[in-house]
Amino acid sequence: MTLDEQIQKLADMILGNRSAVVFTGAGISTDSGIPDYRTPGSGSWEKYDSSIVSIQGFLSDPTQYFNYALEMYPIRSSAKPNKAHLLVAKLEKEDLIKGVITQNVDGLHLEAGSSDVHELHGSLRRASCLQCGQIYSMDDIIQRVQKGENPPICEEFEGQPCQGLIKPTAVFFGEALPKVPWDSSVDKCKDTTLMIVVGSSLQVSPANSLPDVALKTGSELVIIDLMDTPFDSRATLLINERAVLVAELLEKKMGL
């Protein structure tokens, strides 16, 4: 099948279902310049040990983590949603898909305008107090670190001083996945008749069990990724291309 035929088939499947769930991984954000924080070996990882994004490393030395977060902040805050994030948001607004489940912690789906977003691994755009659960924006937390408050400490909980440690909601190594997005994602996968995987090689457990949930309840599977995945043989349609290119061609094909 040519790429054009693959895009046509994808368009037909989306229009035929109108209830697809999109599942995204790091590959959708590489064209936004997002470094994959789970892949040591580039940039800041030469200076920092990857154990700082483990929960044990964070708890034993939060100051070091926030030094690292401060250094990465300009890269993260300048990253913008690309054509693929924007198309996912547009398809939801047009009532052609029913939400997006993501392994990414970059917050770009929400920034692109998607509203039904399930962030399986939390987010680096939000932080919470480990003591009382108070939510903070990372922009505010980074500002406080810049002013010398390192590590940043929770100010209050229901009017009382709290003093709890503040951590990004992104899941660190050694932490369990948060329950809410996981349960809602499983429900979504059970209900859907079409699951579209974008930019995930489906290697990370337990997120990679979600396509299994969808397939077992009779859903079709589409995979758009540059790499091979363990689910390729079970996919109705496989497109080995960059997410942004597929998005560009699909948008034209569907006349959106």
Could you list the active site residues? 121
How is residue 183 written in tokens? 């349960």
Say whether residue 166 binds Zn ion (CB under 5 A).
Answer: no
| Nearest distance from C-beta of residue 146 to Zn ion, angstroms | 21
Of residues 83 and 167, the one with the C-beta less far from Zn ion:
167
Q: How far apart are CA 193 and CA 208, in angstroms?
A: 18
Identity of residue 154 = C
Of residues 129 and 189, the one with the C-beta less far from Zn ion:
129
Of residues 155 and 232, the one with the C-beta less far from Zn ion:
155
| Nearest distance from C-beta of residue 31 to Zn ion, angstroms | 37
Q: Are 117 and 28 spatial neighbours (Cβ–Cβ below 8 Å)?
A: no
Rounded (10°) angle between helices 3-17 and 243-254: 70
Say whether residue 45 binds Zn ion (CB under 5 A).
Answer: no
Nearest residue to 236 (alpha-carbon basis) of 10, 24, 71: 10
17 SS3 class: helix
Say whether residue 164 binds Zn ion (CB under 5 A).
Answer: yes
Q: Residue 158 burial by CB count (10 A; 0-12/13-18/19+): exposed, middle or buried? A: exposed
Among positions 118-157, residues that touch Zn ion (CB under 5 A) are: 129, 131-132, 134, 154, 157
When binding is defined by CB under 5 A, the residue of 138, 162, 189, 224 that contacts Zn ion is 162
Among positions 85-124, residues that touch Zn ion (CB under 5 A) are: none
Which residues form the interface with Zn ion (CB under 5 A)? 129, 131-132, 134, 154, 157, 162, 164
